[in-house]
Amino acid sequence: MALTLAEMAVEVLTCGDALQKVSLGRAHAAAWLASRAAGVPLAVGRAEPPLQPARPAAPELLDPRDVPRRKPGSLAGRQAMLHAVAHIELNAVDLHWDIIARFCDQPMPLGFYDDWVRAADDECRHFLMLCDCLAAMGSHYGALPAHAGMWRAAEDTMGDLQARLAVVPMVLEARGLDVTPGMIALFQGAGEAGAVAALQVIYAEEVSHVAYGSKWFNWLCGREGTDPKEVFHDLVRRYFHGSLKPPFNEEKRADAGLPPDFYWPLVEARGQGG
Ligand SMILES: [Fe+2]
Ligand SMILES: [Fe+2]
């Protein structure tokens, strides 16, 4: 018997080895997409995802305040920056498979699963590209400590699909669109062509992940007859810990279907200038 999509998701989530996780993720994504292309989709099915995904023994996960900071201008600083992005990508692999398994009891069109399978597959490639960049710089994923709080947004929103869409793709992944051009410039300045190329691919592809988020968020509002902007503000205020921080990448956010009146009202006024 072929695995259902939900069972595939749980296999990825419970795999603790990073390289095995991404190769399993890529194989499962290919199987799902091939079944869809052939017109005989695999069953979505039901499965129980773990509360937290399995992770490798290294990197050591630390409170962000305890993760050592390194000068961005130095080689060590650039290694640390790519290591942090690799950690975000591996977490994103789990986030996308988790949204598939976590909410499989709610009927959604098959296109919803196609989108998150594609996004998960993108994150696997992003992680592998960054591993190559780290190797070229004499480092590897696991060489440095990493941020322990990455799964918090998933835990906070495990009971609410719309809140998950609002917080993960539409807030956190949209934040990636804001900060990636600065990182690309930093690696360009250092003459690191490999890292520049990898970050440019990531930057281009992340737009679609934010777009999948806003597409299905709006779709759910349409099904329920609610106002997307009002629901977005309400859910982000309830489920996201922190305020949104400008400057925003207005152009890429617009490409991803995220209009300014969604995010500007969530900027905390007292945070400005301080
Ligand atoms: Fe990514
Ligand atoms: Fe992403």
Q: What are the pLDDT digits (tens) for 50-76?
A: 999 999 999 999 998 888 888 878 999
DSSP conformation class of 148: G
Give how far the C-alpha of residue 130 lies from the chain's centroid of Cα atoms, to the nearest Å: 15
Calculate mean pLDDT across residues 239-247. 93
Asked if residues 166 and 232 have their Cβ atoms less than 8 Å apart, the reply is yes
pLDDT at 270: 53
* Structure confidence at residue 272 (pLDDT): 45
Number of the ligand closest to the Cα of 122: 1
Q: pLDDT, tens digit, for every residue of 81-93?
A: 999 999 999 999 9
Range 15-28 average pLDDT:
98
pLDDT given at position 273: 44
Q: How far is the CA of 204 from the centre of ligand 2 (A)?
A: 10
Note the pTM of the prediction, 2 decimals. Answer: 0.96
How confident is the model at residue 234, as a pLDDT? 97
Residue 58 DSSP class: -
pLDDT score at 269? 64
Sequential DSSP letters for 62-81? E-GGGSPP--TTSHHHHHHH
- Close Cβ partners of 102 (under 8 Å, ≥ 6 residues apart): 49, 158, 161, 164
% of the chain residues with pLDDT over 70:
98
Choose the weakest-confidence range: 39-53, 54-68, 102-116, 212-226: 54-68
- Where in the chain does DSSP place strands (E)? 61-62, 146-147
| pLDDT at position 274 | 38
Mean pLDDT, range 192-197, rounded to an integer: 97
pLDDT of the residue at 65: 87
Query: Is residue 1 scored above 80 in pLDDT?
Result: no
Q: How many angstroms is it from 155 CA to the middle of ligand 1?
A: 20
Quote the ligand 1 centre to 92 CA distance (angstroms). 7
* 132-188: pLDDT as tens digits: 999 999 999 999 999 998 999 999 999 999 999 999 999 999 999 999 999 999 999
Q: What is the pLDDT of residues 249-273, one digit of tens each?
A: 999 999 999 999 999 999 986 544 4
CA angle 261, 254, 212 (to 5 degrees): 100
* Residue 123 Cα to ligand 2 middle (Å): 6
Ligand 2 midpoint to CA 52 (Å):
19
CA of 123 to the centre of ligand 1 (A): 4
- Pairwise CA distance, residues 24 & 13, whole Å: 10
CA distance 100 to 161: 10
- Cβ–Cβ < 8 Å for 32, 128: no
The whole-angstrom separation of Cα 208 and Cα 200 is 14
Q: What's the pLDDT score for residue 153?
A: 95
Point out which residues pair with 273 in neighbouring strands: none
Residue type, 94: D
CA of 1 to the centre of ligand 1 (A): 32
